[in-house]
Amino acid sequence: MPIAAPGVARYLVGTVIFSTVIAVALTAFGSHRHGFGQNFVYSQCIGLITYATIDLPRRMLWPESAPTFAHMVGLVAIAAPVGWFGGSFIASLLWGDRWSPGTMGLDAVLGFLALTAGAGLAGAFYFWTREQLMASERGAAEARLKVLQAQIEPHFLFNTLANLQALIDVDPRRAQEMLRHLDGYLRATLATTRAERGTLAEEFELLKSYLEILAIRMGSRLAFGLDLPPDLAGARLPPMLLQPLVENAIRHGLEPKIEGGMVRVSAREERDQLVLVVEDNGLGSGTSANPGTGLGVAHVTQRLAAVYGDAASMSTDGNDGGLRVTLRLPLEK
């Protein structure tokens, strides 16, 4: 198990390098006048056994997560004497010495134990912080991926591809048009998952691509309107803020409704606030047959709170049987 475990090769190399450094330091500054070769063999043996005594129990006790720092110190406290006694015994066999820690004097033994513990602690701490860092980076990457997956919903993607396939044969020009919208939508989605702020014009462009695709797919069942006053085109907001709300209107309001209906997105300025409204005349809240209600809206609420704190708000109300979502946020031009 430990050989196949992740990171073992890296840790072994790290241990060998670290032990070599100690061997060099001992040769240069140590009170025992041993040659580098002997110091090197002892150092490696002690280092490797200390490493094994730290890492084996660590992997068994905490197979998934990292141990706490206190646990790490505890492991090192056990591993240092095991590593020093065990390592120096093996090294003495290799080097042809007589293993006699008893003749070394208590000070020397304690000194070497302290050195082993110090080195073990330093090494363990180094790799421990590195792992923490890597785990948090991995977490951040996973979070980004989740956002992306939520935005490019598989049903949307595959149904759109199926429509493209259908159009290519019967109406290549509309197929090209649809492909252009899909391209625009995917590019905007990928770009905006990284950016902190976009403009309202960009947001509406993205919505237009998205809704044009759905209008082709749903045919006469979908009508849409986008109303962006020119002087608000440059207003800044977190990217893809409205998209989940429009997707909700389609997925839960209009797609499951037999007659279909209309979705409208509009922006206006109201006392230094940017007011954004997404309204539909679909099935209204909670009646959806399609799973996943509420996730998109919760996501928008979280983002508003994270970016604007109390300065922004979101409200929903019934609208002609459908749903109207109103966002108010500070106007940034």
Binding residues vs other proteins (CB under 8 A): 154-155, 157-159, 161-167, 169-170, 216-219, 221, 255-258, 260, 286-291, 294
Nearer to other proteins, 4 or 258 (CB): 258
Q: How far is the CB of 155 from other proteins (least distance, A)?
A: 5
Question: Least distance from C-beta 242 to other proteins, angstroms?
Answer: 24
Q: Closest CB to other proteins among 63 and 219?
A: 219
Kindly state the smallest distance separating residue 175's Cβ from other proteins, in Å: 10
* Residue 61 Cβ vs other proteins, minimum distance, rounded to whole Å: 33
Based on CB atoms, which residue is closest to other proteins, 136 or 165? 165
Phi, psi of 182 (to 5 degrees): -65, -45
- Of 167 and 235, which has the nearer Cβ to other proteins? 167
**Distance separating alpha carbons of residues 101 and 135, to the nearest angstrom:** 42
The answer to whether the beta carbons of residues 261 and 282 sit under 8 Å apart is yes
* Min dist. Cβ of residue 203 to other proteins (A): 26
Identity of the residue, 252 or 328, whose beta carbon is nearer to other proteins in the bound complex: 252
CB of 196 to other proteins, least distance (A): 31
CB closer to other proteins, 41 vs 283: 283
Buried b (16+ CB within 10 A) or exposed e, 214-244: bbbbbeebbebeeebeeebeebbbbbbbbbb
